[in-house]
Structure 1
Amino acid sequence: MKWFKVNTDGAARQDEKLASSGGVIWDWNGQWVIVFAGSIGACTALEAENDGLNWARKLGLRKVILELENASDVHLLKNPNSATLNTTSLRSIAGIKNLNWELRLPIFTERATEWLMVWQQ
C-alpha cells in the first residue's frame, strides 16, 4: 500500500473572527487526490490539520503522512502522555491516530496550502 501526504493550513481574520481551512492530499507520485478549502468559522491551526485528516479518512486512506508546521504540536501528538491533550483538536487528532491506519508526523512547511488560503478569501 502506498503513502498519501496531507498538507493543510488555516487562516484567520481576527477583526472579523472568521477563518478558512484548506489543503491538498497527494498520492505517492505527487499527484493531487483532492484539494479542499472552505470557511469554517473561528479555528486554530490544529483544527485545520484535523480537517485534512478527516478528508483522508473519508477517502479511505490508510497510510497517511500529516505534515505539521508546529514542532510542539508534533511532540504532543507523538507523546500524548507527556502533556495533557487540553484542546479538542489535539484529542481528536490523537484519537484519529489510533484508528486502523498508519500516520506519520514530520514537521514541514507547505506553501501550496498557503496559496489555497489566499485563493479562498
Structure 2
Amino acid sequence: MGWFKLNADGASKGNLGVAGAGGIITNHLSQTVLAFQEHLGLTSNTTTELKAIYEGVKLCIDNNIRKIWVEIDAKVALKLIPSPSQGPWHLQNLLQQIRNLLSQTQFKISHIFR
C-alpha cells in the first residue's frame, strides 16, 4: 500500500541513433496512474535509459508520489545510479539529477527482464 511502480525504458536505433524514452506508473493494484513518452533525438542507449528514469521519477514527484519502485531492463543504468562514482563524463549531469530526485523519495530500484 502506498507504493507506486515506475517501469521505464529507453531505446535508440543504433548507438548513437534516433531515440525515445517512456514509462508507466502503476499503483499497488497494478492500475495505471500516469504514463509518459518523449522523443530524444540522436543519443546513446544508456542516455535513453537514464532519461526514461529521470522523466519518470520527476513525473512521480510532480504528482506527489514519493514511494517509488523503479523497474528497468538496463543493467548498466541499475549499476550507475547507486554508484558512488560520478559515471562517464557525458552522463554525470543526468546521473546527478536522477540522484537528486531520488533523494526526495523513498525508492527501490531493480532489474526486470525485457
TM over 0.5: yes
Q: What TM-score do the two structures reach when normalised by structure 1? A: 0.74
Unaligned runs of 5+ residues in structure 1 are 111-121
1:5 alignment partner in structure 2: 5
Distance 2:76 2:11 in 1: 19
The CA distance in 2 between the partners of 1:15 and 1:3, in whole Å, is: 34
Divergent runs of 4+, >3 A = 14-17
Give unmatched runs, 5+ long, in structure 2.
none
Pick from 67, 91, 106 the counterpart of residue 102 of structure 1: 106
Hey, what does 2:19 align to over in structure 1?
A: 19
Q: Percent identity?
A: 24
Of 66, 69, 84, 2:86 maps to 84
In structure 1, how many angstroms separate the alpha carbons of the residues matched to 2:2 and 2:9? Answer: 24
How well do the aligned residues superpose, as a CA RMSD in angstroms?
2.2
> Match of 2:40?
40
Which deviations, in whole Å up to 9, do the C-alpha atoms of 1:53-97 show, x marking residues without a partner?
Answer: 11111111010011122334323322x32x224412211111112
**1:17 Cα offset (Å):** 4.1
